[in-house]
Amino acid sequence: MNAEDKEHFMHISYEEMTMDPKDSVGRIAQFLQKSLEYEAIEKIADRCLFMNMKKNNMSNYSTASRKLLDQAKSEFLRKGECQ
């Protein structure tokens, strides 16, 4: 990757996001050059917690057709664990 491309790329791991979600949201916002109030960062971080995403129909694909994803065979969001 050349130097010009590096300014358009941000590396963040799942482990980083699970260890410190608020810091991760802040870093992503800064990378995107978006200013967020602390309350917004807290709200985003809370909504991005695995347990909350698993409950949310908009992120767990529970409303998707069975042709697209058969939840009886496997849930879209499973355990949320790093190995």
Q: What are the pLDDT digits (tens) for 41-51? A: 999 999 887 77
pLDDT reported for residue 32: 95
User: Which of 14, 12, 46, 51 is closest to 30 using CA atoms?
Assistant: 12
Long-range contacts of range 11-16, CB-CB < 8 Å, 24 or more positions apart? 14/82, 15/82
User: Full-prediction pTM beyond 0.95?
Assistant: no
Owner of token pair 């802040």:
26
Say if residues 44 and 74 touch (Cβ distance below 8 Å). Answer: no
Three-state DSSP state, 59: coil
Strand, coil or helix: 38 = helix
44-71 pLDDT, tens digit per residue, is 999 887 777 767 666 655 555 556 555 5
